[in-house]
Structure 1
Amino acid sequence: MEFYPEVKLMKDAYGAGFSNGLTMCQSQSALAFHKTEDRGEDAVYEDGRQHRIVLHKKINGQAVEVSTEFINESSDEVTLEMLSTFAVKGITADRIHRMQSFWSAEGKLRTESIDELHLEPSWNRCGMRIEKFGNTGSMPVRKYFPLLILEDSKKKEFTGIQLYCPSSWQIELLCKDDETLTAAGGIADRDFGQWTKKIHPGESFTTPKAVIARGNTIYEVCDRLVKAQRPAISEADNKMGIVFNEYCTTWGNPSYDNIKKICDKIKGKGIQYLVIDAGWYGKAQGWWSSMGDWSVNEERFPGGLKKIADYIRSCGMIPGLWFEMESVGINSEHYQDKEHLLLKDGVPLTVGERRFWDMEDEWVINYLSEKVIKLLKECGFGYLKVDYNDTIGMGCDGEESLGENLRRKVLATQGFFKKIKEEIPGIVIENCSSGGHRLEPSMMELVSQGSFSDAHETVAIPLIAANLHRAVRPEQSQIWAVLHAQDSDNRIFYSIISTFLGRMCLSGDIYDLSGEQWKLVEQGMHFYEMASDIIRDGITVKCEYSTQQYNHPTGSQLVIRRLGRRCLAILHRFEGSEASDLEFLKNSRLIAEYGSAEEDFSAKAWIYEEDASVI
């Protein structure tokens, strides 16, 4: 396996092998570069035209972090059409694994053989074979996660690659000269994401990074990739505290009275955060269409939000507040504010009934600093949920190409996340985007937690939550248990045990639960606290399921996470399931158990200690 640079400069020839329009790899630009210097982990390449490329590599735990820097030392401006973050050739693999993602169905593992993908060399090595995938827009996991795992089943070797790119990205596999593969990826190129970037004389450009890891199992590789992430988790949030979010309680209609009612019901139960979700602003037109103004609805919260935030704190919890700060709804007074909104083709970029602030605009940053940061400070909120419910798409008007303008706008959004943390040290930030559309590592490194999905009341929750172990640190993956008075014991177990796959978040009709139902919930909360170090620091060693259906799952799912000799096992049964033989408990010492898995759509969890000879 050999690292090298892939680049395409405007006006240079495209690659051969019938590849033009499918890939920009192996162009005249790339073939002109030759290695001229090794600098330890870095390597320098030059093309004879006073263009230099530096491949940056550094060790990150049990993984390698890579990026590519293009330097224009010539006297002429050049335009990049593609610059890979990583390019690796000489890979032996017979299967690949990807994570597909749609709304409320995030992270489904897709496994294909190289033969199924038709990635074999042509009979005379003339034609290029290509598999290219990725995402365009500002929801970076809206089709696939930026993740690829290559498997050599004969050698039992896995190579995993995870891109840190919050805007349009691509990953591609190439096969031409022999049976080995080339993998390359980074910012979506001119063909795939309408991206070009001008580099003036004396300037340079560095790609977003990627992390690459190798291992003997898919679990091992994914764990190394995930543990290479360095999230800025708030000190207040380092003990796996439980969240209560009121959205599935008030359904977008929070008020001082109903939030106080929730406080009175859950105080003293060990919940760390109470988050006020959408609907605290605007008036009759509703929360979905009035975002952007961020004026407190004083009919619901007389005198503003400080009074209810203070009450939440008086009940021993940290108050949280929801914003969708980048968007402007159709009923906002700013909906026609063309000067400060993103434009495309000279008119405000509109998706449904939503437009977008230009996050590179200083006026917008000052406005949001007043409306978001100042409000959080003055009211004493210690938790911020940032939602984002549609995508910019291919890009917007600006100084350069659609794709480059998009990249800059998204980086400006990340800059505002950093500004919030600078001005409110210690704040806990949750990354939400219609649930999980921004579960991408560069976004997750800016926050304490992320919403795992919007699948809050579906039976697919444990499937989605387990999927995310491959791409997101479970200590950041917030999973909801929405509770209702009509829930059976088995439904309560099913919901609560799903949260053991990440961070526990409660919601629902909690003031209508009976004493017996609350007892089951509190037992689950206690079990979660016992398992929290395994969730946070362990490695997932098993994730077995037999269903391909999410709306109507069948069979069962067993997830096992290990920390030293202690293990957490989580079993969910779906339709047509059979009793498990619990083989994993043999030769083990049981520490705790919770739930009941005696029938379809039931669940049970165990904490146990393995015999030292088993590991």
Structure 2
Amino acid sequence: MSNFKELKSYQTGDMVIHYWIDEKNIVGMSINPSKIDHETASRRINLNDEHTVKPLHDVFKVDFPACTLENLVQIKIVGDIHPTGFSGGTSMRNSASTEDLKFKNQNLSIAGEKHTITTELEDRRGISAFHYLCYWPNRPFIEVFTEIVNGSRSTISLEMVSSFSLGGISPFQQDEAIGKYNLHRFSSTWSAEGRHESLPIESLNLEKSWNGHGVRSLRFGQIGSMPVKHYFPFAALEDKQYEVFWGAQIAHPGSWQLEVYRKTDMLNMSGGLADREFGHWKKDLQPGSSLETPKAILSCCLGDIQNLTERMVRYQEFIHPPRPESEEDLPIIFNDWCTTWGYPSEKNILKLADRLENSEVKYLVMDDGWFNDRPGVQQGLGDWQISETIYPNGFANLCDTLREKGFTPGVWFELECCTEGSLMFDNTEHLIHRDGKVLQYGTRRFLDFRDPWVHEYLYEKVILMLKENKILYIKTDYNDSIGLGCDSPDSLGEGLREHLSAVQDFYRRMRLEIPELVVEICSSGGHRLEPSWMALSSMGGFSDSHEGLDIPIIAANTQMMIPARQNQVWAVLREEDSLSRLHYSLSATFFGRMCLSGDIHELNKPQMDTVKKAMKMYQDVKGAIREGFSRRYGTTLLSYTHPTGYQAIVRTNDKKDEAFVVVHSFRNSPSAVSVPLEAENWEIAGFYMEKHLSVSADKNALFISGLKDFNGLIVSLKSKNHV
């Protein structure tokens, strides 16, 4: 960035944070890997001599810049001039509101390990933008958010504000760098979460226009209250020549957006709340009032996409508040959903408890239906009255019996919704409205958490119920999205933001009232696997794929987006399952938290022995699940439901003295595979596999032979220097 002046730089771990300023007092920000920070290129200043541009330059005597500095805070205020470059409906970046924000000051404050760089910008009306960048020395991530303060004398209406804006990509390229950039995203849909996509920016039509006038923008995200229903709130840009990755993740429970933007040689990336064009969001700020954006997590590194995602996941581990003591040992879960299918009666639950007693299972969760008098799925949600017929000895007595058998009882709630058949369904004054009408998707309506009555109602129905029955595990499900928002004086999008903020306040209240409560976040499986929800939970349900061949693929995907210790993965065990199928299913749970379901009480002795061996192996390797990092190898997979080839995951603990390898073969699998190991001093400590398989370790690889289609196996490793 030779045509910009450096304002300040800061070193944190293996990253250098640069702040730049231009002659207009615009401030931008970039991040580089410190190892190659000195290799930044001297950029071309303008395009004046380009054959497509020179005629215009010669006639109009104006410069056509090759690179421009873009503000580290992007905002748009109603009434200000919209940006140019054919950006209407495509991008709200670089409006007059943004251009008017000029540098005022910057300072660094330190509180313990946390360093906060505060950059203050101000416009001529007195509107201030405070850009906060927080870093912890030797941590591989930074946290960024923005606060807008209305210091003017008039009410303003925000219609876009970024949590972060990262520019200057790539500082190692002199020009537009054709063919050298990729964009990485993780798409998500029901029962197919976290598919990694990597595309050249040219194929996304992000190539610079011939004279740098037309805006190139890719704005994407998710609208509604399921923040991971379309994409994970994550994006990364890659400079393939220098093997550098820049990544960003948004921590927000509602509508969000990320945007890759280009006018000149450099790529820019920003994100935060979904703006007015994309998410129907607008918010009024009275004089003296302020708005703080969701947090954004940023990182930059050399290597590959897995190096980057590991760094981002470390942030989630770092900021997580203290967990319940029971969680330190990563207990195994049994959930009755795929056993009783919505009818967890006393008889059904005790069958399971009798079979699981004295096993490694500690959490026994009663899923949907514990409140219903008859079998059924998601009937009458919202009243939360304990069934009077399916517990002949009382529900509290059943919970006591489970505790006597060594289990922590758990129950399922979908506490944010109500369905037909409940009294709450017709209690419309306390439900979400849009355009003055009760909002309903399918059979679901939504409680309005901005209403204090709702909090007190759920305090009685949820928190007191948990306390009275001494239940220390709650699975909170959420099975439809509010969509673009709900009624609010400001906008539908702001109504959604306010509502979801209040929802998360109730989750905090649950933990405050019951400190040892284990909270499992589920949203039709994995639709809430983002940092703000993960910070409120012990675990997240990885997917609603309960019995598919795709489970190990999806579970490996989600492990790249959330900590493994929070990645709850299902193994549904069936009476008709072969031992090979049991190995396949159970091996997938090693990508995170083992959760069993199905016909456990009907399994024969060889089948049950196979399950017990898996649970024993899980105990042996859970230290690396709790604290470690993963590397994925294998075949590039096209179909998830009909996969071919194989997949191998190497999970190593943080001390790098213990590891384990999870291998799954699919259709047309090779009979033998070699899995790379990052060190050369590993020895095999144990394995969980069928007899026709054989494994060996040699230098820096693990060899598996004898593979057939749809095998699953675990190999544990220890360093030869391990004491």
TM range, smaller chain: over 0.9
Contact (CA 8 Å) 1:466, 1:543: kept in 2 or not? no
Q: Which of 233, 239, 260 lines up with 1:146 in the alignment?
A: 233
User: 1:477 aligns to what?
Assistant: 567
Task: Spell out structure 1 runs of 4+ moving beyond 6 A.
Answer: none
Whole-angstrom CA distance in 2 between matches of 1:460 and 1:237? 27
Alignment of structure 1 residues 303-452 onto 2, 5 Å: 304-452=394-542
1:604 aligns with 2:713: yes
1:175 aligns with 2:251: no
Shift of 1:284: 4.4
Contact (CA 8 Å) 2:373, 2:390: kept in 1 or not? no
Greater Rg, structure 1 or structure 2?
2
User: 1:117 aligns to what?
Assistant: 204
Whole-angstrom CA distance in 1 between matches of 2:676 and 2:99? 53
Contact (CA 8 Å) 1:67, 1:209: kept in 2 or not? yes
Whole-angstrom CA distance in 2 between matches of 1:378 and 1:610? 48
* Count of aligned pairs between the two proteins: 611
Q: Which of 191, 201, 214 lines up with 1:104 in the alignment?
A: 191
Worse-superposed segment, 357-366 or 586-595? 586-595
Contact (CA 8 Å) 1:444, 1:450: kept in 2 or not? yes
Contact (CA 8 Å) 2:432, 2:447: kept in 1 or not? yes
Contact (CA 8 Å) 2:74, 2:161: kept in 1 or not? yes
User: 1:53 aligns to what?
Assistant: 129
- String of CA shifts for 1:366-395, please: whole Å, max 9, x gaps: 111111111110011010000000000000
1:31 aligns with 2:99: yes
- SS in structure 2 of the partner of residue 121 of structure 1: coil
Residue identity in the other structure for 2:242: K
Contact (CA 8 Å) 1:85, 1:186: kept in 2 or not? yes
Contact (CA 8 Å) 2:166, 2:269: kept in 1 or not? yes
User: 2:682 aligns to what?
Assistant: 588
1:210 aligns with 2:296: yes
TM-score (norm 2): 0.83
| Greater relative contact order, per chain length (Cα 8 Å cut-off, separation 6+) | 1
Whole-angstrom CA distance in 2 between matches of 1:543 and 1:75? 59
Residue identity in the other structure for 1:78: I
Q: Which of 259, 265, 269 lines up with 2:355 in the alignment?
A: 265
- SS in structure 1 of the partner of residue 685 of structure 2: strand
Shift of 1:135: 0.3
Shift of 1:345: 1.4
Shift of 1:215: 1.6
- SS in structure 1 of the partner of residue 673 of structure 2: coil
Alignment of structure 1 residues 526-545 onto 2, 5 Å: 526-545=616-635
Shift of 1:588: 3.0
- String of CA shifts for 1:83-128, please: whole Å, max 9, x gaps: 0000111112601110100000001101101111121111111101
Shift of 1:27: 0.5
Residue identity in the other structure for 1:334: M
User: 2:320 aligns to what?
Assistant: 231
Whole-angstrom CA distance in 1 between matches of 2:673 and 2:282? 57
1:12 aligns with 2:80: yes
Shift of 1:254: 0.8
Alignment of structure 1 residues 61-210 onto 2, 5 Å: 61-92=139-170, 94-178=181-265, 180-210=266-296
Shift of 1:307: 1.1
Q: Which runs of 5 or more structure 2 residues have no equivalent in the other structure?
A: 1-17, 19-27, 30-71, 109-116, 171-179, 694-706
Q: Which of 567, 572, 577 lines up with 2:669 in the alignment?
A: 577
Residue identity in the other structure for 1:81: E
- SS in structure 2 of the partner of residue 288 of structure 1: coil
Whole-angstrom CA distance in 1 between matches of 2:403 and 2:542? 26
- SS in structure 2 of the partner of residue 582 of structure 1: strand
- SS in structure 1 of the partner of residue 461 of structure 2: helix
Residue identity in the other structure for 1:594: Y
Note closer, same or farther for the CA distance 1:583–1:510 as it changes in structure 2 (3 Å cut).
Answer: closer
Contact (CA 8 Å) 2:575, 2:599: kept in 1 or not? yes
Shift of 1:610: 5.2
Alignment of structure 1 residues 287-302 onto 2, 5 Å: 287-302=377-392
Shift of 1:149: 1.4
Whole-angstrom CA distance in 1 between matches of 2:249 and 2:635? 24
Shift of 1:500: 0.4
Note closer, same or farther for the CA distance 1:37–1:352 as it changes in structure 2 (3 Å cut).
Answer: same
Whole-angstrom CA distance in 1 between matches of 2:346 and 2:390? 6
- SS in structure 1 of the partner of residue 672 of structure 2: coil
Whole-angstrom CA distance in 2 between matches of 1:510 and 1:284? 23
Contact (CA 8 Å) 2:333, 2:595: kept in 1 or not? yes
Whole-angstrom CA distance in 2 between matches of 1:69 and 1:528? 45
Note closer, same or farther for the CA distance 1:284–1:608 as it changes in structure 2 (3 Å cut).
Answer: closer
- String of CA shifts for 1:504-533, please: whole Å, max 9, x gaps: 011100111011111111111111111101
Contact (CA 8 Å) 1:338, 1:347: kept in 2 or not? no
Shift of 1:565: 3.3
Whole-angstrom CA distance in 2 between matches of 1:583 and 1:228? 28
- SS in structure 2 of the partner of residue 290 of structure 1: coil
Shift of 1:285: 8.0
Residue identity in the other structure for 1:18: F
Whole-angstrom CA distance in 2 between matches of 1:544 and 1:130? 33
Q: Which of 601, 617, 640 lines up with 1:511 in the alignment?
A: 601
Q: Which of 308, 319, 325 lines up with 1:221 in the alignment?
A: 308
Whole-angstrom CA distance in 2 between matches of 1:305 and 1:428? 20
- String of CA shifts for 1:215-270, please: whole Å, max 9, x gaps: 22222211111111123332211111100101111011110111111111101012
Note closer, same or farther for the CA distance 1:263–1:353 as it changes in structure 2 (3 Å cut).
Answer: same
- String of CA shifts for 1:387-416, please: whole Å, max 9, x gaps: 000000000112320000001111111001
- String of CA shifts for 1:413-454, please: whole Å, max 9, x gaps: 100101111111111000000111111110000010110001
Whole-angstrom CA distance in 2 between matches of 1:475 and 1:90? 36
Shift of 1:49: 0.9
Note closer, same or farther for the CA distance 1:401–1:202 as it changes in structure 2 (3 Å cut).
Answer: same
